[in-house]
Structure 1
Amino acid sequence: MELTFIAASLSTALILSNAASISLAASRLKRRGTIAPPAGKSQPVSIVVPSRGVEAFTHETLERTFALDWPHYELIFCVAHADDPVVKLINRAIARFSKVPARLLIGDDRVSANPKLNNCVKGWEAARHSWVILADSNVLMPRDYVEHMMAAWRPDTGLVCSTPIGSRPEGFWADVECAFLNTLQARWQYAGEALGLGFAQGKSMLWNKPMLNANGGIRALAAEIAEDAAATKLVNGLGLRVNLVAAPFEQPLGQRTVGEIWSRQARWARLRRVTFPLFFAPELLTGAAVPLALALVAAASAGVSLWATAIAVLAAFYLPECALALSKGWHLSPRTVAAMIARDVMLPFIWARGWLGGAVDWRGNAMIIRTKAAELEETPSRA
């Protein structure tokens, strides 16, 4: 009887915390819509876009960067190597949209073990304006992209970010990636912001350049293996806040394989583990696996139908998730619930992988992700 009560209580607590996180996220999120330009004179903005390789939606995401409504902005595309196939696409776009100030910079500044940060350094240093957005090349920018970023800036803000919202999935495993990105990871990030725990997300980052330059510049983001983790700690250390845009931007997915999802999620898990271990530890409890197991233990002990218990727990988890996606205009399909179940089957294994060492793949780069302390211990002292 005691086992039944404990297991049922723990399962109920996790189900309620899941529902609470969805409610908190829903209170911070808005459905995608246009936003009015700021009153008065708009500030000029530099948009730095680190690029590598050609993906399914590269043509579209690239062209979107040249079609923004913001009256004064420049584009700085950064590519590490001149033989990258994306170079030709960028040069063609610059020539085609010649009215938009745009440049392509090629080179690799090895300031960290993070290839994306290394690729951004030259763009940051070349940016002419005081407001700089670091934007991944696979972000599908709406015309009012800059308006949304600037509207989230407050007097106590140190950084504005947007999580990626997966869209246009093709096939079941792309639906699984949507289930990871949207109603799990974005949801918890917005719930954290509602509780005053804003975390940076590297997909779109709006910085005040003089502020960051006064605190080490972009090279200060090499303090951690992930630039968004370093950004979070830097901003918090200044007593400022990380704010998220109210309507996050899309990342079109296309086709995905289970291997691609595993590689990406395992890398992110390892990054979260080494940069924010206290927040990573309870991630095992965010999916349905643990509350479902506890509920089944309680049901077996009490002689209640296991099938009925499983259906009730899964409905309590996934129906609110679907409602969140529906209310915000995010992707939903007949495969969505099955994709959420597949995601939550993978979660414990991804969580366990986050605690292990070894190399992970980062867009073709085999990387050993360590804590900064471990890196320092392995670095020989110099006289």
Structure 2
Amino acid sequence: MLYIIALAGALLAANSLSLVIAGWRIRSRRDKTPSLAVRPPVSIVIPLCGVEQFSRETLESALSLDWSDYEVIFCVADKTDPVIDRAEGALRTKPLAKARILVGDDRVSANPKLNNCVKGWNAALHEWVVLADSNVLMPKDYLSRLIAAWRPESGLVCSTPLGSRPDGFWAEVECAFLNTHQARWQYAGEALGFGFAQGKSMLWRKKTLDSHGGIQALGAEIAEDAAATKLVNRMGLKVHLVAGPFEQPLGRRTFRDVWTRQCRWARLRRVTFPHFFAPEILVGVVAPLLLGVSAAFLSGASLFGTSFAVLCVAYTPELILAVRKNWHLSPLSLVAMMTRDALLPVIWMRSWLAGSFDWRGNRMVIGSNESRLEAGVAGPIASP
């Protein structure tokens, strides 16, 4: 029984430690803009596919940055895509001299999002290039924060998505996945030397990537962020994160939206980084809760009291992190966190099964040891 208690305590301690590290590493969104001695010109390449709920706001945010010299390149694969009208409208509302829309599809990989970015990458005029998803809500100091995070040993600077403006319970659950779970663990991992790329916002030095195969090299994996992580590591460099993650407004989400997205990400992590993915079954409250209840049952202690204590130890520091970083919180947040943790082991087990699903009009097939996109509808992909 002592072993059960020790294991439960170790899991809860690891959970709390990750929250402490993330709290130390992540800056609040209210922190002032970092000062920079040099503000180099930057190219921002944004792949577009379809109109989303916040498309107008996110596209206009890219055209309203506090940066003296930057260009924005919107990339669209299909000339009939209605998002072109939305991008043209954003350019009329927020005119930027160095902004343009490029249309066309370069089939360099099985990843439609990457294919859509190729023309933008090749057309980029500047040494610093940001590959950014279309649903990132860029703050005025977006480029300042990305450039400020670059270090001498950096090969890539990224940002995780920070869920905001949820509409409905399942959007609250999505926030619980993105913020105090995924962002927390990613920042804690980076602080411990395990930096992983995130495709939401990726800042590259163009000559660095071009000297190692160019943007086409990111097609080595089905997910460009996994390929970026492995490529940067092979260079002997590091993946670093911005001081604080950038917003992704969520709007309405259904259970199916959350389930398919999290299953997709879990399967991709399992295929691309299996040695890091395997221990994820121990993440969340389910494992320590089951161990704690088992120990209470064997010792005759109160099952309710033990469960309550485990939940308090697990969720109190998580709620504190969200409060201190000014992240989204609502009366539903605690229930959403508990729902997320109940789903985690089910998603983990599902990820080991072969299957397929539709990914922005493209059929993705993931087997036991590989993943691929079947031939079908071509179009760029942006993570939802």
| Coarse TM-score class (shorter-chain normalised) | over 0.9
Where in structure 1 are there 5+ consecutive unaligned residues?
376-383
Distance 1:158 1:11, change over 3 A: same
Q: Deviations over 1:202-260 (max 9, x none)?
A: 00000000010000000000111110000000001111010100111000011110100
Answer yes or no: is 1:282 the counterpart of 2:282.
Answer: no
Q: What is the CA distance between 1:365 and its match in structure 2?
A: 2.2
Q: Determine the C-alpha separation between the residues in 1 that align with 2:364 and 2:115.
A: 14
Q: Determine the C-alpha separation between the residues in 2 that align with 1:374 and 1:97.
A: 40
Q: 1:39 aligns with which of 31, 34, 37?
A: 37
Aligned position for 1:185: 182
Aligned position for 2:213: 216
Q: Determine the C-alpha separation between the residues in 2 that align with 1:46 and 1:371.
A: 38
Q: What is the CA distance between 1:100 and its match in structure 2?
A: 3.3
Where in structure 2 are there 5+ consecutive unaligned residues?
373-384
3-state SS, counterpart of residue 153 of structure 1: coil
Q: Determine the C-alpha separation between the residues in 2 that align with 1:146 and 1:344.
A: 34
TM-score, with structure 2 as normaliser: 0.94
Q: What is the CA distance between 1:371 and its match in structure 2?
A: 8.0
Contact 1:284-1:347 within 8 A present in 2 as well: yes
Distance 1:359 1:203, change over 3 A: same
Answer yes or no: is 1:175 the counterpart of 2:172.
Answer: yes
Q: What is the CA distance between 1:113 and its match in structure 2?
A: 1.9
Aligned position for 2:378: none
Aligned position for 1:157: 154
3-state SS, counterpart of residue 259 of structure 1: helix
Residue pairs, 1:137-156, within 5 angstroms: 137-156=134-153
Q: Determine the C-alpha separation between the residues in 1 that align with 2:220 and 2:71.
A: 28
Contact 1:166-1:181 within 8 A present in 2 as well: yes
Aligned position for 1:241: 238
Contact 1:131-1:207 within 8 A present in 2 as well: yes
Q: Determine the C-alpha separation between the residues in 2 that align with 1:165 and 1:374.
A: 27
Contact 2:271-2:371 within 8 A present in 1 as well: no
Aligned position for 2:54: 57
Distance 1:289 1:372, change over 3 A: closer
Q: Determine the C-alpha separation between the residues in 2 that align with 1:369 and 1:224.
A: 12
Q: What is the CA distance between 1:116 and its match in structure 2?
A: 1.1
Contact 2:352-2:368 within 8 A present in 1 as well: no
Q: 1:97 aligns with which of 78, 94, 98?
A: 94
Q: What is the CA distance between 1:27 and its match in structure 2?
A: 1.3
Q: What is the CA distance between 1:339 and its match in structure 2?
A: 0.2
3-state SS, counterpart of residue 300 of structure 1: helix
Q: Determine the C-alpha separation between the residues in 2 that align with 1:141 and 1:371.
A: 37
3-state SS, counterpart of residue 131 of structure 2: strand
Q: Determine the C-alpha separation between the residues in 2 that align with 1:100 and 1:304.
A: 69
3-state SS, counterpart of residue 334 of structure 1: coil
Contact 2:156-2:240 within 8 A present in 1 as well: yes
Greater mean deviation of Cα atoms: 94-103 or 79-88: 94-103
Answer yes or no: is 1:330 the counterpart of 2:338.
Answer: no
Q: How many residues align?
A: 371
Aligned position for 1:207: 204
Q: 2:336 aligns with which of 331, 339, 364?
A: 339
Q: 1:73 aligns with which of 60, 64, 70?
A: 70
Could you say what the CA RMSD is over the residues aligned between the two structures, in angstroms?
Answer: 1.4
Q: Determine the C-alpha separation between the residues in 1 that align with 2:164 and 2:367.
A: 32
Question: % of aligned pairs identical?
Answer: 60
Q: What is the CA distance between 1:36 and its match in structure 2?
A: 4.0
Answer yes or no: is 1:9 the counterpart of 2:6.
Answer: yes
Letter in 2 for 1:185: Q
Answer yes or no: is 1:231 the counterpart of 2:242.
Answer: no
Letter in 2 for 1:5: L
Q: 1:265 aligns with which of 257, 262, 265?
A: 262
3-state SS, counterpart of residue 315 of structure 1: helix
Q: Determine the C-alpha separation between the residues in 1 that align with 2:157 and 2:366.
A: 26
Answer yes or no: is 1:198 the counterpart of 2:195.
Answer: yes
Q: What is the CA distance between 1:349 and its match in structure 2?
A: 1.0
Distance 1:362 1:373, change over 3 A: closer
Distance 1:283 1:221, change over 3 A: same
Contact 1:263-1:361 within 8 A present in 2 as well: no
TM-score, with structure 1 as normaliser: 0.94
3-state SS, counterpart of residue 88 of structure 1: helix
Q: What is the CA distance between 1:37 and its match in structure 2?
A: 4.4
